[in-house]
Amino acid sequence: MNGPKSLILMLVALIIPSILVSLWLSNAKASLEQAGDTSSEIAVASVAEDEYCTPKLKGILRRVAGACGLLQEGGRGCQPANAKQVAAMSGDDFNALFKPLSHRAKIIQFDSAQVEMDEFGSAAVETAWSDQRGASFFFVVARASADGDQIFNQQLSQKRAEAVLTHLDQKFNDPDLKKQVGLLWLGEEYAQLGEEFCTWSRSREGECSIADINRSAFIAWIDCAI
């Protein structure tokens, strides 16, 4: 154990870890400089865009929604004639637009000549509303059966659509309601539902005639980024 030997031993013991640490730091520095931005590979949160959202469907929905005042603040709802005009299609084609929504839509049924929802109707509206997921627009398309006066049926369907909106407003007091809900009232003269819609999710069980299914408000979230 003499001086020079100790010194050499100490230097060796000191230099080896120093070289290692310097090397590791240098590698980390180089790796940091070379690292790309991996954050761009991660998905960004967005509203839903379902498979049925074809450009054609979206175009029509946008025209309908715009014409009905949904895309602007304040106005909401549109006259049956307007809906027919902006959709520029037959009633059957109009209904066909909503067929991909069979898993999302609910049909709220009303009594003849009535605009009040029963408890099952209210519950169905709440369930449908709370299942928004990534959808951007909530469509309420109210109708009336062909029984009675055409003008009365127009007013009836309008009040049915508004009954849905009023219930949502009272139940959820949601500030986004006015930006997301679009009302259409079609009366009896346009896009009447066929009996095949009786198999969809309805607020009432049991018998279902053409008249029953059209005394209704069709409600659904639309999973399209319109």
Partner 1 sequence: MSLESGVDLTGEQPTDWSPRGKDPVAPWLWASAAFALLAVVFSGLSTADFIEHLDRQVHSIHCSLLPGASQQIGESGCRTVMMSPYSSLFRTSLWGGLPISLLSMAVFTYLVYRGVDFALARRRKKKLTAFLVVAWLLPLGMSLIYGFISYSKIGAACKLCVGIYLTSTLGFLCALVAQIKQAKGEDVGYDEFSTGSPVPFYLRWFAEGCLFVGVLVGLHLMGAPKVAKATEGCGRLVQKDDPSGIMISLGGTGRKSVALLDPLCPACKGFDERLNASGLRAKLELQAVLFPLDQNCNWMVKTSLHPGACAVSEAILCQPEKANEVLNWAFAEQESLLAEAKADERALRKRITERFPGVQGCLGSAKVKNKLNKSMRWAVANALQVLTPQLFIGDRRVCDEDTDLGLEYTVASMLALPEGGTK
List residues near partner 1 by CB under 8 A.
Answer: 1-3, 5-6, 9-10, 13-14, 16-18, 20-22, 24-29, 31-32, 35, 38-39, 42-48, 126-127, 129-134, 171-172, 174-176, 223
Considering beta carbons, is residue 26 or 209 the nearer one to partner 1?
A: 26
Could you say which DSSP state residue 131 is in? T
From residue 206, how far is each of 159, 198, 212 by CA, in Å? 25, 10, 11
Q: Give yes or no for a contact between 164 and 142, defined as CB atoms under 8 angstroms apart.
A: yes
Q: For residue 176, count other CB atoms closer than 10 A to its CB.
A: 10
Q: How far is the CB of 30 from partner 1 (least distance, A)?
A: 8
Considering beta carbons, is residue 31 or 199 the nearer one to partner 1?
A: 31
Q: How far is the CB of 73 from partner 1 (least distance, A)?
A: 15
Give the SS3 label for residue 202.
Answer: strand
Considering beta carbons, is residue 7 or 113 the nearer one to partner 1?
A: 7
Q: Which of 49, 37, 30 is nearest to 222 (CA)?
A: 49
Considering beta carbons, is residue 46 or 199 the nearer one to partner 1?
A: 46
φ/ψ of 170, rounded to 5, equals -70, -40
